[in-house]
Structure 1
């Protein structure tokens, strides 16, 4: 179906990401197969990042589950998958729910001395900006084994609070500015 030609090394990551982000199932499957067959670690990493850029939440969920299994995606790459899925607007909540559902498993796997758990906390909560988010994160970590990530949780809660405050102070101003047609950039006619 696809004709594979050599791609400029400097453009591979961009092409992979764009193909998955703006493509559909065939593009995702193509990159997934390339990932499974890749031998060079840097190539595998580029392909993994690209897979996380899909707009399809089913594929994002599949990728998260694959990372949790540790078969096709190594456990040490779990934070990469969760972090990149978290910055995908279609994956933000999905990644947080995934971490919540698998927290006990992650604590068991990675232990309290690992940097992986604090990274999971930070990456999945950094974009939260509502009181609901704040309360949910706080309640979750208060009711789970989280001693190893107390500092990360405190930092994340502080970040969520700052996001809430920023929105309260600036959302109306920014919305008004964006809704004003005079503020839209006009591109001069090139004729």
Structure 2
């Protein structure tokens, strides 16, 4: 008998989730989304980066340590981000500038993420994340979208993106992302 065979398919299911992110609608059909799946040993590296960031930033960021434990306990972790993107060219003003050219010429700020970026591109990222989380749900995988792990993945150079989120995946008898305590 093969015990816990459901864990053998987690890599395939993670790839399916990234297919949902990749094929999500994008403004004007321009795809600036980047994706990845962490190897098992990379989960520990990411968790350590998250703990280090919590220590650097103080008590307000203690949730990074809680989230780091979820990364360790996850069966897989997918990363979805937005690489340095152009603009949708709509001059919509959502980025805070009257014209797209003004936003492009603005000095970029890099803290956790690099911006400003085109707000329409941010919407594309949100749709991709939503499609990925929905696909994970459809596959009966427990999941949650983590800002903390996304920004740590950028800092650890695990994903080449200006903004990224992580989605840890779990196949356990109880959702490990549900009863988490706020530090």
Tell me which interval the TM-score lies in, with the shorter structure as reference length.
under 0.3
TM-score, structure 1 length as denominator? 0.20
Higher relative contact order (CA closer than 8 Å, sequence separation 6+): 2
Which has the larger share of strand?
A: 2
